[in-house]
Amino acid sequence: MLSTIFAVLFYLATAIFVVGLAYRIRLYATTPAPLKIPTTPAPVTRSGVVARLFREVAFFESLFNSNKWTWLFGWVFHFAMLLVVLRHLRYFTEPVWFWVNWVQPFGKYAGFAMLAGLLALWGRRFLVERVRYISGPSDHLMLVLLIGIAGSGLMMKYVAHTDIVALKAFSLGLIHFNWQPLPADPVLLVHLGLVLVLAFVFPFSKLLHAPGVFFSPSRNQVDNPREKRHLAPWAAALDGDRSQGGSE
């Protein structure tokens, strides 16, 4: 019974996550940007823009320039989480991809860094007056959710081991539609339950900052308005018969 509920929820969560995110990304991609508004100085070539976005996504460049503490906590959290997620691929692949094994020794300890980063970020929401003012219930709850996921995961790794072999059989069963029982370990159920909640809320929450950053015109536009006429389709209609030139 428990296994069935979780199996169904996993399929549902995956569907909502994928469809919800795809819908949102499509919306961002198809909404026109009528004007050239990169925050300057901006790259003058497309490859320059790719480099700018890479620096934003990999190093949080703007945040670094803004506030070193927020940058430190945020960057540690995000990259520890990346390592943790990559490490978790071992529970969904058989045989385990070779590079996932490379990540394993780092991923094991990254869980602590992830939790520390999250707690520090949460601490700011209480300790810094300005950040306290702008924090709403959903901002706190999102951190609680992630802290719960990281905390329950670390519990299983370092305090009360779960039956990882049975769990892997369950997850591979989900992928191959050959359903296997889920170990009824309370910590595991909390961990998986919270992950499900995360997948459900992702497309409806501020977690949309993840795809959003790639579509932000102030960061992803090339600074070349004098050389190349930028024109949105709805704006071209205002030009009458004069219209020409492309939109990016």
Partner 1 sequence: MADFDTLKINPLFEIPALEKGAMKDLSPFVAAPNHQEDLGFPGELVDDWQTKAIEKFGELLKKSRALRVYMDGCVKCGACTDKCHYFLGTADPINMPVARQDLLRKIYRRYFTFAGKYFPKLVGAEDLTREVLDEWYSYYHQCSQCRRCSVFCPYGLDTAEISMAAREIMDHVGKGQKYCNEILGKVHKIGNNLGLPEPALIDTLEGLEEDIEEETGVEVKLPVNQKGADILLVTPSADFFAEPHVDGLIGYAKVFHQAGVSWTLSSYASEAANFAMFIGSYEQMKKVAERIRKAAEDLAVKRIIFGECGHAWRVAYSFMNTLAGPFDFLDPAYPVPQHICEFTLDLIEKGELNLDKSANDHMTLTFHDSCNVARGSRMGPTPGGQFEIPRAIVRAVCNNFVDMAADTIHESTFCCGGGGGLLTDDLMEIRVKGASPRMTALQEVVEEHGVTHMVAICAICKSQFSKVMPKYGIGMDRIVSLHQLVSNAIILDGQIGTEPDEETETDTSEDVATA
Stretch that binds partner 1, among 38-46, 105-113, 149-157, 184-192 (CB under 8 A): 38-46
CA dihedral sign, ordered 154, 156, 158, 164? negative
In sequence order, which ranges of the chain are alpha helices (DSSP H)?
A: 2-30, 46-59, 61-66, 68-88, 98-127, 129-134, 137-158, 164-175, 186-201, 209-215, 217-220, 233-236
60 binds partner 1 (CB under 8 A): yes
Stretch that binds partner 1, among 4-12, 67-75, 154-162, 166-174 (CB under 8 A): 67-75
Member of 9, 33, 119, 197 binding partner 1 (CB under 8 A): 33
Q: How far is the CB of 64 from partner 1 (least distance, A)?
A: 9
Q: How far is the CB of 125 from partner 1 (least distance, A)?
A: 8
122 binds partner 1 (CB under 8 A): no
12 binds partner 1 (CB under 8 A): no
How far apart are the C-alpha atoms of 179 and 158, rounded to whole Å?
A: 28
* Identity of the amino acid at 206: K
Q: How far is the CB of 76 from partner 1 (least distance, A)?
A: 14
How far apart are the C-alpha atoms of 112 and 141, rounded to whole Å?
A: 20
- Which residues 6+ apart lie within 8 Å of 182 measured at CB? 2, 3, 6, 7, 166, 167, 170, 188, 189, 192
Q: b/e per residue, 182-195, with b = 16+ CB within 10 A?
A: bbebebbbbbbebb
User: How many residues interact with partner 1 (rule CB under 8 A)?
Assistant: 65
55 binds partner 1 (CB under 8 A): no
Member of 9, 16, 21, 37 binding partner 1 (CB under 8 A): 37
First to last CA, the chain: 52
Q: Are 145 and 197 in contact (CB under 8 A)?
A: yes
241 binds partner 1 (CB under 8 A): no
56 binds partner 1 (CB under 8 A): yes
Member of 128, 147, 187, 189 binding partner 1 (CB under 8 A): 128
Residues that bind partner 1 (CB under 8 A): 24, 27-28, 31-37, 39-44, 56, 60, 62-63, 65-67, 70, 74, 124, 128-131, 133-139, 141, 204-206, 208-209, 212-213, 215-219, 223, 225-232, 234-235, 238, 242, 244-245
